[in-house]
Structure 1
Amino acid sequence: MTEHYDIAIVGAGIAGASLAAELADHARVVVLEAEDYPGYHTTGRSAAFWDECYGGPDIVPLTVASGPYLAEHGFLSPRGGLYMGRDEDAATLDAFIERFAPTGIDIRRLGRAELAALIPGLKPAWTGAIHEPASADIDVAAMHQHYLTLAKRAGVVLETSARLSAAEREGGRWRLATQRGLELTAGVLANAAGAWADHVARLAGAAPLGIAPMLRTVAQLRTAPAPPATLPLTLDINGSFYFKPESGRLWLSPHDETPSEACDAAPEELAVAEAIDRFEGVVDWRIEAVERRWAGLRSFAPDRLPVYGFDARREGLFWFAGQGGFGIQTAPAAARLAAQLILGEPRDAMTGELDRSLYSPGRFAA
């Protein structure tokens, strides 16, 4: 039997789940998830943090707009963040401050003494940093479940093991099929498929936008000393590593962005080794064991900004993709904005300061 919906969302990661929750009270919605359970890929593998600078100045409005919602629902834990450098990085640190000054976020320069007080065992080469006091950890699992629960309570249908296999536009509606034989129709097809976003677009007869999956590797280390619970999220100003404490262990990444096919991402041993080598140049801690390693895919549009809006040429296809590594920290505002675009509703207090045109897929139309 063919089921009929107003909106079909492809993907049940944080993007699809948050969008479904925002739409649920206004439309009949189905979410099609290719895997056996939601959040298997990027959402379930995130070392997520809420960092106002992460993603660049054009992402700041989405992050800032999302912060109150995340805090109100208890998904944020104070952490603080550092972007640090050596003597030769002084100009880069200054440029960073200047770049973000128009956004109004709270950041300031730290000298060697202040930096060393925050990171025990810091090696002498690291002499300065930018401190972002508002940076926080995100409880990704709780946040994802929150949106899935809101959607379910409002009547959203979640279909797992439902990889999209066909999408045809007929008479102003989409006729959709999945690999396990599910057939349905919908007025709007929302593409929240992450690394598979261009693949879904092709199935729907639309031109891909060049959304590229990038591999990101993370390892969990046991160190001596153990990282203090108060250790800030620490990033290299040049983007070669970041680390943060997690339940008495250290989560470390080489901040890699290795081009990848859309796949079940696996960590690369070389990337883990590079991360460890870089970390050993930062502090005098001893690494006792690599306890876990994993990888996820972060997907970027060519200009590294997210894509929210209806396709310029394919009727009824809505893009909600290309959210890079900032999709979780921006999910509340992004999903609210996307729902307003789909439903034709005006902006509200959360989205009122967002520039819709900045994220529109129309920017890629020739």
Structure 2
Amino acid sequence: MSDKPSDDQPSASEFPDDVWEQFTRDTERDIRGSAPKEPSARARMVTERLRRQEERGEVPPGWRTDPVSQGVNSRAARRRKLWAVLGVPVAVAVALVALKPSLLPGDPFDTDEPQAAASPLPVETAAPTAPPGASDAETPTLDEPFAGSPALRWADGEAGIVLPEAKVVGTVSKDRVEQALKLTKKLLIAANLDPQTVRGERPEAALDVLDPKQPGLLDNLNTALRSPSGKHDPVTMFSRFDPDEIRPAGDVIKTRGRMTVEKGSHAGVAVRADYTFVYPVMRADGSTEVTRTIVRRVLDVELADPVRYRVTPGRLTVRNYDEEIGNSACDVHDGYLHPEFPSRGDKGPDPTGPTTDPYDRSKSIDDGQPCGTVTRT
């Protein structure tokens, strides 16, 4: 065995200051504990008496140190010295690994990979070029409602609605553009994230953002909320679940999307919002089985010029709205979304549309596309 540490051990300069400070304190404490102490008066008297007896031949040789024990102690001393030399870098290396396990080759504790897998995605500023990659096939639970979903890395709720920087658009001032963006965000939150709206109540906060002077819009929405049908269904604008059938699985709705602005057709600013919302839910009958419904909405609104047009100041005019819903029963128009659970056999009508990935935000929404099958929830 060699006293020389191996070349691949960390050098002193590579250790953090706090590790060396702790090591220095421990070393000073050990030195104080092992330092020679002044013998007591009684011990000195006994030692002197034994020395005189030895001079008179009254004490056998070796009373000070037994020859066999001396050899054993010498070997033990050498071992202690050797371990003291080797123990310094080893102790520091152990301390470093405890502070940062990823220093070990290959990161055997998998400290980096789970953090990377769960790290939030950057804000979406442009249309993706492909759908999200495949996720591990995990079953969602009450503790982990987004397990196995790409939405695990999406932002929570309204934190996922990040406004772009407001800039002058044509003759529209920066302040007016900012107002249009904030109103659009308010509408998205009230229509898709507000707990009252999601549990099936009347979405008053969302309706208050819309211009009552826009012909037909509020009348149609009120008809849909009052008497839903295939022609007037409120889920085309609002995300709603029947509270007698469905309960939220937790307080988090995942959100991802973006907004863009352009010059409006009524001397104002037009905003396009393209967002996907992921709702983890369970049945209201006491079951703890969790599933998810995914709703993508593309909304075109305008904040028109109230000086030149008959509009209500501070209200949005809706130019167009489209939706794409994943995991909701087809051809049911009672004003609610109806998630399907894997364990239930009484599913609704068979879907007639194509198979789609509800998390794919790289494609546009096909207007009028029949209800299809989703590849994942």
Larger radius of gyration: 2
* Alignment TM class, shorter chain as reference: under 0.3
Q: Which TM-score applies when normalising by structure 2?
A: 0.24
The one of the two structures with greater contact order (alpha-carbon pairs below 8 A, sep at least 6) is 1
Q: TM-score, normalised by structure 1?
A: 0.24
Structure number with the higher strand fraction is 1
